[in-house]
């Protein structure tokens, strides 16, 4: 088991023939188990790219290849439209790597997703501005360096790309593999929240513990901590970046900004501790902390 992605996932790549789409689709295809079944680039339907059929529309791709997940590299100005197209074609897992989507575009996308979910459809969006999703040993849909991962019991959910790689690398080094690793992205409005993903990990029998990586800005980590306290039995470990970031300045990610005293590092750490999340203060200690704590649990 795993969450969201596995060896049965059939992925269509939107923005397939562009430079980012081409480079990363190739890397995903090279990861054992991954099924990239089609690509979409409007106007290039009927062609073949990387040995895969290219379609003009996502609808065509779904009809002819039974794709059930989408990986999006479409440039920011057109990306919201591509997400909505994937939804309209019936895709229920939409992973958007694209960075720089206007926040009001995401507001409109999020409304569409929520209204579909209220109607009973289990559609999920991951991202934007994220490294994607990987289920080690089964499927990679994203831009992460695959070789640092290994299959195992730890679920990871994170707002940041390279910070996730750091955590994965440390866990692998201490012998702890990962069930699924998910980047939810660094934008103020994201398709999925930390809490959404925690819920999925809690119901996944193969995940034994979760590492949650957050940063300053917003209230996603606080809400996730509350969720963990109320709905989770599995241990959760948390790291929050941005202790030294000055308020009011945007730290690279559009979502990483302390506004009007909310979303501070201290506030998030306090909320995590209060809810029983094990807080890791030193970024280099994530792997060691999880290993130590799980060993203790086994001994008990």
Q: Which residues bind another protein (CB under 8 A)?
A: 24, 76-77, 99-104, 106-108, 110-111, 114, 131, 143-145, 148, 158-166, 169, 186, 188-189, 213, 215-216, 218-220, 239, 241-246, 248-249, 251-256, 260-261, 281-285
Tokens 């990962």 correspond to what residue? Answer: 178
**Active-site residue, selected from the candidate residues 149, 194, 253, 265:** 253
Q: Is 253 a catalytic residue?
A: yes
CB of 93 to another protein, least distance (A): 19
Q: Which is nearer to another protein, 69 or 144 (CB)?
A: 144
How far apart are CB 60 and another protein at their closest, in Å?
28
Cβ 153 to another protein, closest distance in Å?
A: 23
Q: Please say which residue, 166 or 202, places its beta carbon nearer to another protein.
A: 166
Residue carrying the six token digits 């979409």: 40
Nearer to another protein, 1 or 107 (CB): 107
Comparing CB distances to another protein, the nearer of 202 and 215 is 215
Minimum CB distance to another protein, residue 283 (Å): 4
Residues forming the active site: 253
């Amino acid at each position: 088991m795993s969450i969201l992605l596995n060896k049965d996932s059939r992925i269509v790549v939107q923005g397939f023939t562009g430079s980012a789409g081409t480079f990363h689709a190739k890397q995903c295809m090279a990861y054992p188990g991954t099924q990239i079944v089609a690509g979409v680039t409007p106007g290039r339907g009927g062609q073949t790219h990387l040995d895969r059929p290219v379609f003009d529309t996502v609808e065509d791709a779904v009809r002819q290849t039974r794709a059930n997940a989408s990986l999006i590299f479409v440039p920011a100005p057109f990306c919201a439209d591509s997400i909505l197209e994937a939804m309209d074609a019936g895709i229920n897992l939409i992973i958007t790597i694209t960075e720089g989507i206007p926040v009001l575009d995401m507001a409109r996308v999020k409304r569409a997703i929520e209204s579909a979910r209220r109607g009973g459809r289990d559609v999920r969006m991951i991202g934007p501005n994220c490294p994607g999703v990987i289920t080690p040993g089964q499927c990679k849909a994203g831009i992460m360096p695959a070789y640092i991962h290994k299959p195992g019991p730890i679920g990871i959910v994170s707002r940041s790309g390279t910070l996730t790689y750091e955590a994965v690398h440390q866990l692998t080094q201490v012998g702890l593999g990962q069930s699924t690793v998910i980047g939810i992205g660094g934008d103020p409005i994201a398709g999925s929240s930390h809490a959404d993903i925690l819920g999925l990990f809690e119901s996944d029998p193969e995940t034994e513990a979760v590492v949650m990586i957050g940063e300053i800005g917003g209230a996603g980590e606080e809400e996730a901590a509350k969720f963990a306290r109320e709905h989770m039995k599995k241990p959760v470990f948390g790291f929050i970046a941005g202790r030294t970031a000055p308020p009011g300045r945007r730290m690279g990610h559009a979502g990483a900004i302390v506004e009007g005293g909310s979303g501070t590092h201290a506030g998030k750490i306090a909320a995590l501790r209060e809810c029983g999340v094990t807080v890791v203060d030193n970024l280099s200690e994530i792997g060691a902390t999880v290993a130590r704590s799980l060993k203790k649990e086994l001994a008990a």
